[in-house]
Structure 1
Amino acid sequence: MVSEGLAIPFDLALIGAFGAAVVLSAIEADLPQVDALAEIEFEEPLRIFTAHGALMAEFGVQRRRAVAFEEIPPLLINAFVSVEDSRYFEHSGIDMIGLARAAVSVAKSGEATQGGSTITMQVARNFFLSPDKTIKRKLTEILLAWQLEARLSKEDILSLYLNKIFFGHRSYGVAAAAEFYYQKTLNDLTVAEMAMLAGLPKAPSANNPLSNPERALERRNFILERMHGFGYIDDTDFLLASTAPLSARRYVPTIELRADYLAEMARQEIVQRYGEEDAYRLGLRVYTTVDERLQLEADAALRKGLMDYNQRHGYHGPEATVEDIAAKDVDALDAILAARPRVPGLPVGVVTSATSSSAEVYLGDGEVRTLGLSQVKWARRFKTENWRGEAPRRVTDAVAVGDVIRLREAKAGEWVLAQVPKVSGALVALAPEDGAIRALSGGYAFEWSKFNRAVDAKRQPGSTFKPFVFAAALSKGYTPASLVKDERFEMPSANGMWRPKNADGKFMGPIRIRVALSKSRNLAIVNLINRMSVDYAREYIQNFGFALDSMPPDMSMALGSGSVVPIELARGFAVFANGGYRVLPYLIDRIEDAQGNLLFDEQPPRACMDCWIETEEEEARVLPVGASDDPPAPRAIDPRIAFNMDSMLKDVIESGTATRAKRLQRDDIAGKTGTTNESRDSWFAGYQPRLVTVVWVGRDDNKPLGRGEWGGTAALGIWMDFMEEALADIPVATIKQPEGMVPVRISLRSGEKTNSKSDSRIEFIRDEYQLMTLGPDPVKYAAPVARKTAPRRTAPRMLDELF
């Protein structure tokens, strides 16, 4: 009778077991391959470095740091095991006691409120499955856990777990969590910090020490009790850890060099190479060509130059105004200031009180500064680019309560009223040997304006474009001694009669090309391009890397009426600096993966600098890692033309429009000033054979800069400040004279060969033109006719002018 009573339940059990076996068999057929775990790549952010390894930027939504099992401290492992899976090293992937506890919970509540998952099961779920709480997913999870235990060691599974789990705030993996919450490596964590991290995976938001410190503290202490109960820590460690204060704080990458314009350029290039998704998850390490020292000097020089311009043209008033400031508490003011862009060296504040003699400025976080009259005296109100108001006589003439303003620390440590300059600028410095970008500033501050003017601002180059036209003339057979006419010129155009003028409104008559370039005579170069043809000049100038559509197909091109960006101009001047080779500017030197394996190594075409400059005997030539003389850069122009152009561009500094640069006391620097109509653009493009630097100053809205803001003023000052520091340790370079040139003594007036040593100089002329110094279409020098003595006036000057 007893056997008959057990028969029905036994049959039902068999049927249930058979059904479960069928379900499990069906699930097993669809299981993912555990072997795929070996191919899984842990996501890490994109990091940008300088040439010497200083971190410039870090990009990536998620933070991951994959570490080997041997790098994880045993006590940290015990912290996780004690709270997540205390029998981890005993079971074979499934903890039957935990599952039984979960089953009881389901029976009581009717819902899957507890999972009973082991660490192995969590790895299976995190890598292969969704977090949905269903019976099928749980069965799949169990089967995968068995497979994992069969194919991987306990250490391998635990390593996968600790490198994969989510810790909140976009941090994945225990190493990333240690860095984010404590800015430490795993070995540096305290017992209390280990317990805190072990408490996060169960509820990364609810147990978070940053967003919910009280609950996080409770969770930490619970884990410490578990660790103490299992004997992982002794009484002393437990007491110290359970009474330790919360020490978690938000991670901010330790940026060793702030160069945001360059970092953004590198980021864009990596996204273009690898795609939006992979760029931010593969842990790529991008090493650029940037020199930290030069970058710091570039930023400092550009900011100083723009601030100096700002001081010359007046104060534009507050950035914003806070209404009813008396009704706002400190927290409200802090929020207002925090919303303003961060600008290096120019902290933002709000004026909380102001009298005729002083003003209180609140800078946030309880910090206050006081401004006196001497600290606002410079702030004459901006009226126009050529007109400022009167100097303040009272502090309240400059600032008022509620003004959101900037301050700047003066040399004496005194804080003065300041403003982010309304004028913009750019500086780019590259190595003419291979085009490596050594420094670049795309504006006053990236946080204020992300527009990178060094690579994106197309502006008229003005007279900085003239050297390329003169080089075209030399290629056609003209020489530095050839005469050109600096005289009145006019011709019909689509907009009426075109009448170009010199900056000074005067004429010098027939002058040598060398003088025309150094003095930047507009009419002389117009005369020259008219003689050699615009089409020829445009075709030749493409050798410098300029696109044909950037050069207008008319004579205005000679005056720089086209459009270029500063980095294009730097590439063009590199041809003069390196002896005639065309190089391509580049920023990324090499790319490594997260394990340090080389993925990309730039091998730029290189100019033969040993062919161009003398090297001191004790000066060793150092090439970048992996670099060689191959591949050679293509020839852009005849080295003899480069030699002549270098000589004439040095005259720009020695006796031309950039004599201020003689302050640097170097005879190996050369360059060209440039100013466009109404001083809308101020340029200086110059170089030493080891470094080409271009500076542009202008308004983003293309408004005039104002009287006196020529290339030899605004831009040249910035160039000088930068190059003075950049060239401090670079020996003076001596240019080698190329073969095929002969010295010819020429007359300073006629440009023709002469034997007289007075009013003459030596010019190095290409062999084939030594007897044709005046070029293919010679302009003959005519001595000025002596004026006759004016007759004695018989009427007042006014009557002479009237009639």
Structure 2
Amino acid sequence: MRLLKFLSWTCVALLSAVLLGFSGTYLYLSPSLPSVETLRNVRMQVPLRVYSADGKLIAEFGEMRRSPIHFADIPQDFVDALLAAEDDNFAHHYGVDVKSLMRAAAQLLKSGQIQTGGSTITMQVAKNFFLSNERSFSRKINEILLALQIERTLDKNAILELYVNKIYLGNRAYGIEAAAQIYYGKSIGELSLAQLAMIAGLPKAPSRYNPVVNPERAKIRRDWILARMYELGKIDQQRYQSALAEAVEVRQQAASPPELEAPYVAEMARAEIVGRFGSDAYTEGYRVHTSVRSDLQTAANRALREGLLAYDQRHGYRGPEQRLAGLDLAGWQAKLAEQRTLGGLEPAVVTRIDGDGIQVLTRAGSEERVDWQSMKWARPHLNTNSLGRLPGKPADVVRTGDLIRVQRQDDGSLRFVQLPQAQGALVSLDPADGAIRALIGGFSFEQSNYNRATQAKRQPGSSFKPFVYSAALDKGFTAASLINDAPIEFVDPYTGEIWRPKNDNNTFLGPIRMREALFKSRNLVSIRLLQEIGIGYALDYSKRFSLPPEELPRNFSLALGTANLTPLEVTTGYAVFANGGYRVQPYLITRIDNRDGEPLFLANPPRVPDRQMPPSTPQATAAALPDTSSDANASAAEPVAEAPIPAERVLDPRTAYIMTNMLQDVIARGTGRRAMSLGRSDLAGKTGTTNEQKDSWFAGYNGDFVTTAWSGFDQPQSLGRHEYGGTVALPIWIEYMGVALKDRPMHLPPEPDGLLRLRIDPATGRAATAGASGAFFELFNKDAPPQPAQEVSSSFQDNFGSEPAPVPIDLF
């Protein structure tokens, strides 16, 4: 009896010591433990996502790939698989599984090393949200105490939801939805039982059981989980066997694969959001909706790339990117793995040559055929203006081991191409409010992320002339005014240097009407107009088109387009003509939502009156965007709806209409005639080519879209002796506008009041006399009608609608 009493009291003492130890530990550690109440409103890091106007995902930015999911959306099969793998007693314990802890302690005593932590899912939530990965007894005790608190605060479903959204599952995937997208390209709800079991096996060791890196080890882990599910009665024999038989087929991909290729647009949106929200932009789950339409962006991508490829092929083949003749198949594959697909052009190595084409090895490891027909263009490039002889057979173009580029066609076949050296850009706006509908800033963002649409300051050449002509119309000139297309000479009073501008073909037409001078793009007429209206007036007038004054030269070369403007700035200027005289500002972001889909910002750009906002473009005030500089939790702010802002009229609608009418003649009768292939009568625009053909432009519009295409080399050099705005940029514009305007009715701003159509004498530009030969109708502002008919002397005098002021011009 004494022995029994001793043992009983000893047990009581030991139990009391343990309880006192736990109590003391709790009292000591609990004040420093974080509050688990924060888990009720936890904000996990969610990446920034950018979307098109029609809801297509363009890009995702952020260190962590995460797409939080609600418990109700988690498949039951995944819950069963996860619990079978991690914590099959989850439903019955209170945060701590004593048996698991005892098992872990026994392993520690036996081996002297920590084998397993004995952690429940609740303990892992405590560690993931509040603690580090340090392996120590103090951290484990904190983990246990926090787990007990979590179980008292949250229900089991909420704990599981926190866990599956927080855990790291390899390849930058955080949470099960991101993992499903990365490994299978599907949502978690679309996965099979075997695939769900595969993801459930990742939390234990994401790198070891990664199905991309270690498919065999991942399969072993998957099959073990399936067996555990079968043992626990979660699946029947048939489902178990079917899942075991399923092959491991995964391929790493982006967490949310882009549905629309628009990397330049994505970067513009990212930069703007970072400017507004700072580093929170990458973690707060902002959803940015842009004004870009997916169909138009796809058309812009194709138009620019095909236009640059066409130009490139006109100037011959420069040879392979590398010669790999000394390598074997493994060496070729290794070299191909180092290359990237750029602008849709895939790297390939020539493996065999015959009379009808070549065989190439692709990055995917397959050998495919390239037909000789797609190689016939490849005359040797000698220089910008010279080519070698036409090739007669494939062996004249390539050799075995050449690293080349191929382009996959719609039918799956490969076309022989090379990476263009010339670059380009295309911008398309809605002239009603400045919404950017499509934008591409180069052949390939992967090749160069320099956005030429918004950053490249280039000379617009003759595409600048409509701004000068518009100023002249408002200064009293008319479309029928006669201007002398004759040599002109300027002497610098300080240096004595002489400037003798000339027309591109070095010819002179003498007296010519303004309309004809514009569609024939006569340089000397533009200079005379600028000289007559005055440089100061022209510079001040250019502000109406939002042209940056610091980029406009204060000399007569301004008339020839020697300003430094981006394609976006030129497009913005042309929008004033396209909408009937209103100034609009280009914008990209239409809406910013927080992670819960609540709007933080709704765009409300100035808009042309009587033009309705499209359904995809919400209205609210830009000022509603919260100031995040002092408030880190900006997502709680609400936008304030406001009435639409009317755009400012900056141009007489009659002037805008006459300019559009004159620019229609550029397409119908002038340097833009190729655009007639679209079969539309509502197109207006102007080509532009700079000295030595360093820049090629076409800016044009109808009432729905105003679009500018530019092409040139990043380091300015000649595009070639016979390359102009009408040969390089215009085909790009035509290809894009053909898609943009397909099935759309004709549309231009309506004719305003105050215009006259009068018959004029083509020889004098004055009102025609009765029975005058060749007379035709011209469009006039009723406040500036043509001069009355009169006899014209044999010696020409410039007709500006009034007596011209003396100007220092030497005619010869």
Pairwise same-fold verdict (TM > 0.5): yes
> Counterpart of 2:551?
550
Task: Tell me the alpha carbon deviations over residues 10-54 of structure 1, each in whole angstroms, 9 at most, x when there is no partner.
Answer: 778767755553432231111111111122123333333222122
> Counterpart of 1:401?
400
Q: Does structure 1 residue 484 correspond to structure 2 residue 509?
A: no
Pairwise CA distance, 1:369:
4.2
CA distance in 2, matches of 1:375, 1:90: 69
Pairwise CA distance, 1:128:
0.9
CA distance in 2, matches of 1:45, 1:420: 33
Pairwise CA distance, 1:208:
2.2
Q: CA 1:737/1:10 → structure 2, altered by over 3 Å: closer, same or farther?
A: closer
More displaced 10-residue stretch of structure 1: 384-393 or 629-638? 629-638
Q: Does structure 1 residue 271 correspond to structure 2 residue 274?
A: yes
Q: Does structure 1 residue 769 correspond to structure 2 residue 784?
A: yes
Would you say how many aligned residue pairs link Structure 1 and Structure 2? 767
Counting only pairs closer than 5 Å after superposition, residues 142-541 of structure 1 correspond to structure 2 as: 142-252=144-254, 253-276=256-279, 278-325=280-327, 328-329=328-329, 331-354=330-353, 359-370=358-369, 375-408=374-407, 415-493=414-492, 494=495, 496-541=497-542
> Counterpart of 1:801?
none
CA distance in 2, matches of 1:347, 1:19: 68
Q: Counterpart amino acid of 1:262?
A: V
Given the alignment, which residue of 44, 49, 52 partners 2:46? 44
Q: CA 1:47/1:375 → structure 2, altered by over 3 Å: closer, same or farther?
A: same
Please give the secondary structure, in 1, of the residue aligned with 2:739: helix
> Counterpart of 2:720?
706
More displaced 10-residue stretch of structure 1: 249-258 or 523-532? 249-258
CA distance in 2, matches of 1:751, 1:155: 85
CA distance in 2, matches of 1:294, 1:214: 45
Pairwise CA distance, 1:82:
2.5
Pairwise CA distance, 1:562:
1.2
Please give the secondary structure, in 2, of the residue aligned with 1:200: coil
Q: Counterpart amino acid of 2:657?
A: F
> Counterpart of 1:70?
72
> Counterpart of 2:686?
672
> Counterpart of 1:747?
761
Q: CA 1:514/1:778 → structure 2, altered by over 3 Å: closer, same or farther?
A: farther
Q: CA 1:188/1:366 → structure 2, altered by over 3 Å: closer, same or farther?
A: closer
Pairwise CA distance, 1:370:
5.0
Question: % of aligned pairs identical?
Answer: 43
Q: CA 1:757/1:261 → structure 2, altered by over 3 Å: closer, same or farther?
A: farther
Q: Counterpart amino acid of 1:644?
A: I
CA distance in 1, matches of 2:93, 2:126: 16
CA distance in 2, matches of 1:657, 1:640: 24
* Aligned residues of 2:765 and 2:786 also touching (Cα < 8 A): no
Q: CA 1:482/1:778 → structure 2, altered by over 3 Å: closer, same or farther?
A: farther
> Counterpart of 1:791?
none
Q: Counterpart amino acid of 2:278?
A: G
Please give the secondary structure, in 2, of the residue aligned with 1:310: helix
Q: Counterpart amino acid of 1:398?
A: V
CA distance in 2, matches of 1:113, 1:257: 47
Pairwise CA distance, 1:435:
1.1
* Aligned residues of 1:484 and 1:525 also touching (Cα < 8 A): no
> Counterpart of 2:639?
none
> Counterpart of 2:90?
88
> Counterpart of 1:603?
604
Q: Counterpart amino acid of 1:202?
A: K
Task: Tell me the alpha carbon deviations over residues 656-713 of structure 1, each in whole angstroms, 9 at most, x when there is no partner.
Answer: 2222323333221111111100111111111111111111121222110112211122
> Counterpart of 1:790?
none
Q: Counterpart amino acid of 2:47?
A: P
* Aligned residues of 1:534 and 1:553 also touching (Cα < 8 A): yes
Give unmatched runs, 5+ long, in structure 2.
621-642, 789-798, 806-812
Give unmatched runs, 5+ long, in structure 1.
611-619, 781-803
Q: CA 1:247/1:45 → structure 2, altered by over 3 Å: closer, same or farther?
A: same
Q: CA 1:354/1:743 → structure 2, altered by over 3 Å: closer, same or farther?
A: closer
Given the alignment, which residue of 609, 616, 626 partners 2:618? 626
Task: Tell me the alpha carbon deviations over residues 711-747 of structure 1, each in whole angstroms, 9 at most, x when there is no partner.
Answer: 1222222222322332221111254332333444433
Pairwise CA distance, 1:511:
2.5
> Counterpart of 2:671?
657
Task: Tell me the alpha carbon deviations over residues 405-449 of structure 1, each in whole angstroms, 9 at most, x when there is no partner.
Answer: 123468998755321222222221111111111222222333333
CA distance in 2, matches of 1:752, 1:368: 71
Task: Tell me the alpha carbon deviations over residues 324-349 of structure 1, each in whole angstroms, 9 at most, x when there is no partner.
Answer: 03xx22x3322212322313553322
Q: Counterpart amino acid of 2:306?
A: K
* Aligned residues of 2:185 and 2:257 also touching (Cα < 8 A): no
* Aligned residues of 1:482 and 1:778 also touching (Cα < 8 A): no
CA distance in 1, matches of 2:198, 2:302: 43
Pairwise CA distance, 1:248:
3.4
> Counterpart of 1:800?
none
Please give the secondary structure, in 2, of the residue aligned with 1:685: strand
CA distance in 1, matches of 2:50, 2:470: 39
Pairwise CA distance, 1:115:
1.9
CA distance in 1, matches of 2:572, 2:52: 21
More displaced 10-residue stretch of structure 1: 246-255 or 353-362? 353-362
Pairwise CA distance, 1:655:
2.2
